[in-house]
Structure formats: structure tokens, C-alpha cells
């Protein structure tokens, strides 16, 4: 397993951006006025006046970005609300549901490989190759939110994650007819230099360096190259291949939560 860090892309933690009323952005994901609230707080980011609950003031390096790029299943519903802002342009991914597919294939192609792109999202899993796409929603009974769970639940939750991912890999194998030459996976959390995930809504994912390799083995896959990165980093690579983005660009992935990445000029 190799952790990829695409050049010029900085993953960001923006899900807990502080709102003017003291709440955080994530609390409003299902609100009817989420688009307006998103516009407000991203405008603060552009002006260099934003802060997150977990990390404090947002880095000045993000201030004054040129383009706001949206992707993810929730992006189309807020696109109109955020078009007008202090930034110069707003773009919407050509493929919001499978927004990582283009970037994943491009990163594999750079290494002389082809294969499957696996997107381990917080509301479900997606996998694709050049012609086949499969999507499975998260089983909230088997994989509940971490709130209310304890460390005693981690072993069982890790086993459930492996089982769910292995089942998807086997279904993809049945649909395609063969195993891939490689896999690239986007994970919904920060990753260290070894590709070990940090916190997310899956209580069993933090610190689980063997999650994807074990799921591959459980599915009966042969030993093939595996690359991992943050899901927003992967979506940012897709955006660069889909658009001639004016940089710097702030990318937001909108689904279960808000992910982010900054695309800088190299």
C-alpha cells in the first residue's frame, strides 16, 4: 500500500467551519438553507476571516482563491446558491456522484497502470473502472455513526467494514469478469504518510492501516498495487482533468459532510 500526495493539492478540514451563530457547518448539512449558510462561511474563508472548531483560524494560504469547485452528491442542490461570491468563478463537477473516477484513473495511468477506483464514502461506497460503476449505500445498522459507540465496538466495526468492502469488491469482480491490475482508494479522513486514516464517522477506521488490504484479501483478490489518498485529494485530481481551472481553486466535496482541498498553482 502506498500513500499518494498529488502535487499542488492540499487537503483541508472544513466540515467544522464556525458559523456566525457559533454552530458548525456540519450541523446544517440537512437544513433547507444549507446553500445560503455555505455561501456565508465560504465567503469568510475567501476573506481570510474563517475558523474551524477543531483547528482555529483557517490558513491565510487559502484566502482570495480564484475558483470555487463543487463535487459530490450534494453539490448540484447548492450550486446556484454559491455562484455569486467574492471569488471569480464557480464550477460544478461533470460527474458529481462518481467524482473520484476520472482522477483515480489518471493517477493510475501516470504509473502505467489501469484498474479500479474505490471511493469509501461516509454515506456509501462506490467503485468503478472505465466501463463499470457500482454503488452501495452504507448499512447504518451494521455501520452506525461513531456517536454513542465506544472503544469496545471497534473490533466488530472493523470486521463489518472489511466485510462490506470485500462484498463490493466481489460484486465488481463478477460484473467485470476479472480482477484489476491495481486499485486506488479514496478514504473519508486525513491520512498520514503511511496512509493510516484518522478520525471520521466510522469508529473502526481510525488507525486501521490494514483495512483495504484485508478487504482485498477477504474478497479473494490477487496481490496487486494499492494506492490510497484522501477522498477530497482524489476529487481535486478529477477536477483538474475535467476543467481548465483558474488557480488557486477551493474544492468542496458535499455529501454526508463537507470535505475540502486547495488546488494551488505549481
pLDDT tens string 210-228: 999 999 999 999 999 999 9
pLDDT of 70: 96
pLDDT, position 152: 94
CA-based nearest residue to 160, from 94, 108, 205 = 205
Q: What is the pTM of this model?
A: 0.92
3-state class (DSSP) for residue 80: helix
For residue 198, the Cα-to-chain-centroid distance in whole angstroms is 13
Please give the Cα distance from 86 to 101 (Å, whole number).
30
Give the whole-angstrom CA distance, residue 117 versus residue 6: 16
Per-residue pLDDT, 90:
95
Which residues face 226 on adjacent strands? 183
**What distance in Å separates the CA atoms of residue 140 and residue 81, rounded to the nearest whole number?**
30
Sequence-separated (6 or more) residues with CB below 8 Å from residue 134 = 126, 127, 128, 168, 171, 172, 175
* Exposure on the CB side of residue 129, measured as CA atoms within 13 A: 19
Secondary structure (DSSP) of 141-164:
TTS--STT--GGGHHHHHHHHHHH
What stretches in the chain show pLDDT beneath 70? 265-266
The reported pLDDT for the residue numbered 146 is: 87
Query: Measured between alpha carbons, how far is 94 from 98 in angstroms, rounded to an integer?
Result: 9
pLDDT at position 84: 86
Amino acid at each position: 500500500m502506498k500513500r499518494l500526495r498529488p502535487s499542488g493539492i492540499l487537503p483541508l478540514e472544513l466540515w467544522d467551519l464556525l458559523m456566525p451563530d457559533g454552530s458548525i457547518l456540519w450541523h446544517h448539512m440537512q437544513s433547507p438553507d444549507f446553500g445560503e449558510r455555505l455561501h456565508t462561511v465560504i465567503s469568510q474563508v475567501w476573506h481570510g476571516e474563517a475558523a474551524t472548531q477543531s483547528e482555529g483560524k483557517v490558513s491565510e494560504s487559502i484566502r482570495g482563491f480564484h475558483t470555487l469547485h463543487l463535487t459530490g452528491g450534494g453539490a448540484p442542490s447548492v450550486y446556484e446558491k454559491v455562484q455569486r461570491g467574492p471569488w471569480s468563478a464557480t464550477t460544478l463537477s461533470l460527474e458529481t456522484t462518481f467524482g473520484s473516477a476520472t482522477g483515480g484513473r489518471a493517477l493510475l495511468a501516470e504509473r502505467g497502470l489501469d484498474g479500479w477506483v474505490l471511493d469509501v464514502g461516509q454515506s456509501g461506497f462506490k467503485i468503478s473502472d472505465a466501463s463499470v460503476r457500482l454503488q452501495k449505500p452504507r448499512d447504518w445498522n451494521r455501520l452506525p455513526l461513531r456517536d454513542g459507540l465506544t472503544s469496545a465496538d471497534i473490533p466488530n466495526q472493523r470486521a463489518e467494514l472489511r466485510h462490506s468492502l470485500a462484498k463490493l469488491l466481489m460484486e465488481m469482480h463478477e460484473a467485470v469478469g476479472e480482477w484489476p491490475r491495481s486499485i486506488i482508494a479514496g478514504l473519508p479522513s486525513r491520512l498520514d504518510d503511511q496512509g493510516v486514516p484518522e478520525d471520521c464517522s466510522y469508529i473502526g477506521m481510525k488507525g486501521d492501516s490494514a483495512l483495504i488490504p484485508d478487504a482485498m484479501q477477504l474478497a479473494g483478490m490477487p496481490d496487486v498495487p494499492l494506492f490510497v489518498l484522501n477522498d477530497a485529494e482524489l476529487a481535486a485530481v478529477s477536477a483538474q482533468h475535467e476543467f481548465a481551472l483558474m488557480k488557486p481553486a477551493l474544492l468542496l466535496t458535499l455529501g454526508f459532510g463537507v470535505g475540502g482541498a486547495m488546488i494551488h498553482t505549481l
